[in-house]
Amino acid sequence: TQLLEQSPQFLSIQEGENLTVYCNSSSVFSSLQWYRQEPGEGPVLLVTVVTGGEVKKLKRLTFQFGDARKDSSLHITAAQTGDTGLYLCAGVDGGSAGNQFYFGTGTSLTVIP
């Protein structure tokens, strides 16, 4: 079993603050994905990182894949109330008969106006 630990589990911050969420594993993955889930909906993909050391930026969100492809971080700058949700990382192992996705434990973010 490949486990991904996310920290923190819960985060409540004021609008405008910065935050970082961590996703750690002892396993190496082909790629790593971050999803955001809003109440009553399914998770939606934010980004896929593939190369060790890769950094991807999506507006105020910065994603980094560790050099050894075992861990990742998500940094949000100047958080907004619309960032509220459950953030999930997922390690991906590719295969000819479909990928294996290993989800992290989740980080529940609340941004207070």
Partner 1 sequence: DSGVTQTPKHLITATGQRVTLRCSPRSGDLSVYWYQQSLDQGLQFLIQYYNGEERAKGNILERFSAQQFPDLHSELNLSSLELGDSALYFCASSVASSRSPLHFGNGTRLTVT
Which residues of this chain interact with partner 1, rule CB under 8 A?
30-31, 33, 35, 40-45, 48, 50, 86, 88, 90, 92-106, 108
Minimum CB separation from partner 1 for residue 56, in Å?
12
The DSSP line for 34-93 is EEEE-TTS--EEEEEE-STT-EEEETTEEEEE-TTSS-EEEEESS--GGG-EEEEEEEEE
Our CB check for partner 1 shows the closer of 77 and 105 to be 105
Give the sign of the dihedral formed by CA 20, CA 24, CA 30, CA 36: negative
In the block, tokens 């896929």 appear at 48
| Beta carbon nearer to partner 1, 73 or 103 | 103
Q: What is the DSSP letter of 82?
A: G
Please, what is the minimum distance in Å from the beta carbon of residue 105 to partner 1?
5
Residue 66 or 77 with smaller CB distance to partner 1: 66
CB of 30 to partner 1, least distance (A): 4
